[in-house]
């Protein structure tokens, strides 16, 4: 893509943004065609990172807030597509945050600095978490997801906990989701904040808090989760995913009322079956032991996500690492761990440097 082409795309995107935000336009802003054109135009421009970065930096230095907004959005898309530009974008966005006062620009800035994946984004977002504009705080609650530090008492976590208590329900909803599901960190303070939201007047926030506690294997969530499963309006894919993690002794009765042909229902029922969990653990042990015996050159280990239920098999081979979903591998091997080990061994052929199995010659 040529630089002139990038400039043309950005010019067209700016025109679309101006039309979409024109206060004299009688149409609903969310339904305007210009909004639907704006994002794709910027994304195409951002595909050429070398040309898009200087244009984005130029725009955020403009006196026009619409141009600064578009500049932030262009930097967001460019950083999303090109790792090499992220540090430069972060430096410019941090500087912009220190002088920017327009709410619309700050919303775009929050989205953009998240896509830099830069630790300097955290203090910017922490500051913006106290902004008087609820729409800015909502974007902040969304934008911690990719830059969260993972420290239970970090400033980002403290800011998110504060946002879960925001007077605006959309802010609380997004903060609860980001803190509870996207930030894979746990502490008594986090659980206390999530538990408080299980009584929230906003149904979406309440549901997110219940799922988040379930992800942390907090048994206080079990009866609340059962209530979600018993409500057709409250039960969907994420609810079934949460049910897989709770480690209850048997499936909640409401779960068994769903159509068993749906994969997520079947997975949740299986995960809530302690006998099946025990069999899977035994199967995993036999698989890894067999694999170590027939292929000592492979380093295999079973792991589980902290806030998940599914198990995976990681194998380090001379050709590089490989990962297997345990349930899928189990199905592929017809439930036979020895056969599964053979399948993995066949997937990862030896190199000429690998020693053959068995005792080495003296």
Give every CB contact of residue 239 below 8 A, 6+ residues apart in sequence: 207, 211, 225, 228, 229
pLDDT digits (tens, 9 = 90+) for 10-27: 999 999 999 988 776 655
* Helix/strand/coil for 21: coil
The pair of three-digit structure tokens given for residue 274, joined into one six-digit string: 């302690």
Residues 221-251 have pLDDT tens digits of 888 887 877 776 656 556 666 666 666 656 6
DSSP codes, 155-198: HHHHHHHHHTT-SSHHHHHHHHHIIIIIS----HHHHHHHHHHT
> What percentage of the chain carries pLDDT values higher than 90?
54
Cβ neighbours of 227 (radius 10 Å) = 15
DSSP state of 359: P
Alpha carbon of 219 to those of 39, 155, 157, 222, 248: distances in Å? 43, 28, 23, 5, 8
| pLDDT higher than threshold 60 for residue 276 | yes
The pLDDT score that the predictor gives to residue 102 is: 97
Question: Which is more confident, 342 or 318?
Answer: 342
pLDDT band at 349 (very low <50, low <70, confident <90, very high): confident
User: Measured between alpha carbons, how far is 161 from 179 in angstroms, rounded to an integer?
Assistant: 7
> At residue 183, does pLDDT exceed 50?
yes
Using the Cα atoms of residue 329, residue 335, residue 341 and residue 347 in order, give the sign of their dihedral: negative
What the block records as the tokens of 12 is 């067209």
pLDDT band at 34 (very low <50, low <70, confident <90, very high): confident
pTM above 0.85, yes or no: no
Give the full edge-to-edge strand order of the sheet including 299-304.
299-304, 311-317, 320-325
Q: Which of 74-83, 219-228, 349-358 is predicted most confidently? A: 74-83
Q: Is the pLDDT of residue 263 over 50?
A: yes
Whether 34 contacts 20, CB under 8 Å: yes
Q: What is the rounded CA–CA span in Å between residue 237 and residue 241?
A: 6
Per the prediction, the chain carries an average pLDDT of 85
Q: Which of 268, 215, 260, 273 minimizes the C-alpha distance to 237?
A: 268
Query: How confident is the model over 123-176, as pLDDT tens digits?
Result: 999 999 999 999 999 999 999 999 999 899 999 999 999 999 999 999 999 999
In this structure, the dihedral spanned by the alpha carbons of residues 277, 278, 281 and 282, taken in order and rounded to 10 degrees, is -140
pLDDT of residue 270: 60
Rg (the chain; Cα; Å): 25
Q: Which H helix or E strand runs over 300?
A: strand 299-304
At residue 284, the pLDDT reads 85
Decide if pLDDT at 353 tops 80. no
Task: Name the band, by pLDDT with cuts 50, 70 and 90, for residue 115.
Answer: very high
């Amino acid at each position: 893509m040529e630089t002139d082409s990038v400039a043309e795309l950005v010019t067209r995107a700016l025109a679309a943004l101006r039309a979409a935000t024109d206060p004299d336009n009688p149409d609903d802003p969310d339904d305007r065609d210009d909004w639907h054109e704006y994002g794709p135009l910027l994304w195409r421009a951002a595909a050429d990172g070398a040309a898009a970065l200087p244009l984005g930096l130029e725009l955020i230095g403009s006196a026009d807030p619409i141009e600064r907004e578009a500049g932030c959005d262009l930097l967001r898309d460019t950083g999303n597509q090109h790792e090499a530009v992220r540090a430069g974008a972060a430096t410019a966005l941090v500087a912009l945050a220190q002088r920017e006062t327009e709410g619309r620009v700050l919303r775009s800035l929050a989205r953009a600095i998240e896509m830099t994946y830069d630790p300097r984004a955290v203090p910017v977002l922490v500051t913006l978490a106290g902004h008087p504009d609820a729409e800015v705080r909502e974007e902040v609650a969304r934008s911690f997801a990719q830059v969260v530090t993972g420290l239970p008492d970090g400033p980002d976590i403290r800011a998110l906990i504060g946002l879960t208590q925001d007077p605006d329900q959309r802010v609380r909803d997004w903060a609860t989701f980001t803190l509870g599901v996207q930030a894979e960190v746990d502490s008594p303070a986090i659980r206390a904040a999530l538990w408080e939201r299980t009584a929230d007047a906003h149904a979406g926030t309440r549901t997110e808090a219940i799922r988040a506690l379930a992800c942390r294997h907090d048994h206080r969530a079990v009866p609340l989760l059962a209530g979600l499963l018993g409500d057709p309006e409250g039960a969907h894919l994420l609810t079934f995913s949460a049910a897989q993690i709770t480690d209850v002794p048997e499936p909640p009765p409401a779960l068994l009322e769903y159509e068993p042909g749906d994969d997520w229902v079947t997975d949740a029922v299986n995960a809530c079956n302690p006998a099946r969990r025990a069999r899977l653990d035994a199967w995993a042990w036999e698989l890894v032991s067999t694999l170590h015996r027939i292929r000592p050159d492979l380093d295999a280990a079973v792991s589980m996500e902290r806030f998940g239920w599914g198990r995976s098999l990681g194998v380090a081979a001379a050709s590089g690492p490989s990962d297997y979903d345990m349930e899928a591998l189990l199905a592929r091997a017809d439930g036979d761990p020895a056969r599964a080990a053979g399948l993995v061994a066949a997937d990862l052929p030896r190199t000429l440097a690998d020693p053959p199995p068995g005792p080495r010659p003296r």
